[in-house]
Amino acid sequence: MGQDQALIFAIGAVASNGMLGLDGWLPWDIPEELAYFETMVAGAALLIGRLTYESMDVVPVDSFIVSRQADLALRPGCRRVAGVEEGLRAALATGKPVFVIGGASVYAAAWPYCHRFYLTRIEQTFAGDMRFPAEIPLADWPVYEESQRTFRENKTGRDVLCRFLQYRQPNPRPLPTDE
Ligand SMILES: NC(=O)c1ccc[n+]([C@@H]2O[C@H](COP(=O)([O-])OP(=O)(O)OC[C@H]3O[C@@H](n4cnc5c(N)ncnc54)[C@H](OP(=O)(O)O)[C@@H]3O)[C@@H](O)[C@H]2O)c1
């Protein structure tokens, strides 16, 4: 990695059966896991897929929304980008830390550029309609940090183990420069 190259992070959570979404939102209801996410991305520039953006009640400034719709109307502080490379360049230009926050299609397109993936593994199966992209080769990325906590999951009323993993990609792809 070049010494001047800024870092790009991804963050997300996945159930033990690979599910990450249901009906346009998360398959589970674990407030502490959501609070962890919010703490991690506070003050960062975010790269967000259009569907995930539309599911969010609050979207911070310096959010870059990936969409092919040139006329997409967005909330103040948000900017449409036509692809993940354009979005990552714009997010890096803010000088803030950069987080890719999903959904699945944006993780699938952005992972080659990510230096780290902060992934919460929720050690229970959940019904879902969107899977974590199988092509992200996390099994080949060393785990740099790991911790775990048990939280109450509100839909099932059961306690679930959440493992907080920080993966580091050995050789992230350099972001192509704009033409
Ligand atoms: N578990 C987690 O950590 C987590 C995190 C985030 C989201 N989610 C869940 O994931 C689900 C949403 O994921 P999703 O994959 O369906 O939607 P998404 O990635 O949030 O948004 C998909 C949309 O983004 C745009 N897009 C995606 N890739 C693009 C590309 N390469 N170039 C240009 N535009 C692109 C397109 O918008 P247009 O149609 O406007 O062109 C596409 O329809 C929801 O259930 C959400 O709650 C889970």
pLDDT mean by block of 10 residues, the chain; 179 residues: 70 98 98 98 98 96 98 97 98 97 98 98 98 97 98 98 98 87
140 Rama sector, left if φ>0, alpha if ψ -120 to 50, beta otherwise: alpha
Residue 137 within a domain: no
Spacing, Cα 99 to ligand 1 middle (Å): 14
Predicted local confidence at residue 2, as pLDDT? 42
Atom of ligand 1 nearest to the CA of 11: 3
Residue 14 within a domain: yes
Structure tokens at 132: 């974590």
Distance CA 167, CA 165 (A): 6
| Residue 83 Cβ < 6 Å to ligand 1 | yes
Distance CA 133, CA 136 (A): 6
3-state class of 112 per DSSP? helix
Residue 55 within a domain: yes
| Residue 103 Cβ < 6 Å to ligand 1 | yes
Asked whether the beta carbons of 94 and 108 are under 8 A apart, the reply is no
Distance CA 40, CA 90 (A): 20
Asked whether the beta carbons of 78 and 23 are under 8 A apart, the reply is no
Residue 163 domain boundaries: 8-132+142-168
Distance CA 32, CA 151 (A): 7
Residue 175 within a domain: no
**Cis amide prior to 103 (ω within 30 degrees):** yes
Which residue lies with its CA nearest to atom 30 of ligand 1?
83
Give the CA angle between residues 162, 165, 168 to the nearest 5°: 165
Predicted local confidence at residue 54, as pLDDT? 97
Predicted local confidence at residue 1, as pLDDT? 42
Residue 178 within a domain: no
Asked whether the beta carbons of 20 and 27 are under 8 A apart, the reply is yes
Looking up residue 20, the CATH number of its domain turns out to be: 3.40.430.10
Tell me how many domains the chain contains.
1
Residue 177 within a domain: no
Atom of ligand 1 nearest to the CA of 68: 41
Asked whether the beta carbons of 68 and 37 are under 8 A apart, the reply is no
| Residue 69 Cβ < 6 Å to ligand 1 | yes
| Residue 109 Cβ < 6 Å to ligand 1 | yes
Atom of ligand 1 nearest to the CA of 128: 45
Distance CA 60, CA 89 (A): 18
Predicted local confidence at residue 6, as pLDDT? 87
Residue 2 within a domain: no
| Residue 67 Cβ < 6 Å to ligand 1 | yes
Spacing, Cα 46 to ligand 1 middle (Å): 13
3-state class of 95 per DSSP? coil
Asked whether the beta carbons of 111 and 133 are under 8 A apart, the reply is yes
Residue 176 within a domain: no
